[in-house]
Amino acid sequence: MDLCKAAKDGEELGKRRDLRDEIIFTIDPKTARLDDALSVVPCDDVNGVDCLAGRFFPDIYESMELARYCTGSVKSQTYHHFALNVPFYTQFTSPIRLYPDRIVHRSLDAALGYCEPSERSVEDQKIAEHCNDKKLIAKKVSEFSAELFFGVLIHRVGPTEAKGVVVNVLDAAFDVLLFKYGVIGVRYNTVL
């Protein structure tokens, strides 16, 4: 079972094309040198790192697909791992740590001749999809928990000021990345 991370297809990438044109240089999704590319972008803000993080990183990383487990039933063109810039990537950890790793270790045992290859490819793919679903749910729960904790913190300490950058404009609101807290908050226009 492989762990893949690649750019999303279709509509999501279409939404990000304007970003590429705006920042004047090309971002190659097959390279792990994104930090070098962004370092050439000028910024008038006193704190350039915050400016870049606030303006470009959320847009770029949101356009990437989350890492996912997959089996041999996935096309090899989708295996490319963005962060490591390698065409194939397999995660190996202790087989008692993650259930998908047990499948990886079983496959490795078969490849090395320690046991017969599994005839359960359809079942293995269903297990991989189930693990992906559970991993996504866990990620969302973690994000919601962080948002809830931040809300409780602000409720306890009261109003506070923080430097931020607008990262998204909606019809009746806008999203602001608050550097001090590392969160994106929504500000509704009716509150202004």
**Domain boundaries in the chain?**
2-160, 162-192
Is the pLDDT confidence value at 2 over 50? no
Q: pTM for the whole thing?
A: 0.57
Residues 104-136 as b or e (16 or more Cβ within 10 Å = b): bbbbeeeeeeeeeeeeeeeebbebbeebbeebe
Give per-residue pLDDT as tens, 77-92.
666 666 666 776 666 6
Measured CA to CA, the distance from residue 84 to residue 64 in angstroms comes to 14
Helix pair angle (99-111, 121-157), 10° resolution = 150
Measured CA to CA, the distance from residue 38 to residue 71 in angstroms comes to 34
Q: Give the helix/strand (H/E) hosting 10.
A: none
Give per-residue pLDDT as tens, 98-132.
666 777 777 778 888 888 877 767 787 888 888 88
Contact 83, 32 (CB under 8 A): yes
- 3-state class (DSSP) for residue 26: coil
